Amino acid sequence: MAQYQPQGFNLLPPAVKHLIIVNALCYGAYYVLARQGIIDLNALLGLWSVGTGNFRIWQPLTYMFMHGGLTHLIMNMFMLWMFGNTIENYWGTKRFLVYYFVSGIGAGLLYMLVPGFHLTVGASGAIYALLLAFGMMFPNEYVYLYFLMPIKAKWMIIGMVALELIEGIFFSYDGVAHLAHLGGMLIGFLLIMWWRKHPFSRF
């Protein structure tokens, strides 16, 4: 397995930096326009189920840039920086972006198949795919859970999958798209396994 060597790594590589900027700008636009009563960008750019009549073709992409609140945005962007900078430095910007968007879009499309789904926003599907990638590439690296408890990345990922699965089944109406998180991890896993058999550089 690859060993993480942070020396020489860019702490804010270009894709991660621009994703954070765009997400912050989208939240700012949503907040300002919604407060002014002009338009609800989450309703326009968030991902709706086809049955609601609100679905638009661009939503499987644009929902990834919208967030339901400031805490939602900050947590996602923190995890994007925390894990995304390592992955982008290791893979390169092009491969990182392909993985991020394929996983995020795939998570949204899979979540649309869940009964009772209506609207979702947020980059969490892609973020959870990044967590999975980190755990697969650097399984024995320590991550500080809640900044206090050191845990190996592989055990963190296994625990997160189990927790999201339990919450997705038994707490599916808590306002969190647990199954979308799992969908992002599933797509990310399949993409990594595909690249292991078919190196990305060939494309």
Residues designated as active site: 124, 181
Alpha-carbon torsion 167, 168, 171, 175, what sign? positive
Element at 181 (helix H, strand E): helix 178-197
Q: What is the rounded distance in angstroms from the CA atom of residue 181 to the CA atom of residue 158?
A: 13
DSSP 17-61: HHHHHHHHHHHHHHHHHHHTTS--HHHHHSEE-GGGT---TTHHH
Q: What is the rounded distance in angstroms from the CA atom of residue 47 to the CA atom of residue 112?
A: 8
Q: What is the rounded distance in angstroms from the CA atom of residue 181 to the CA atom of residue 164?
A: 7
Token pair belonging to 171: 């707490």
Alpha-carbon torsion 117, 123, 124, 128, what sign? positive
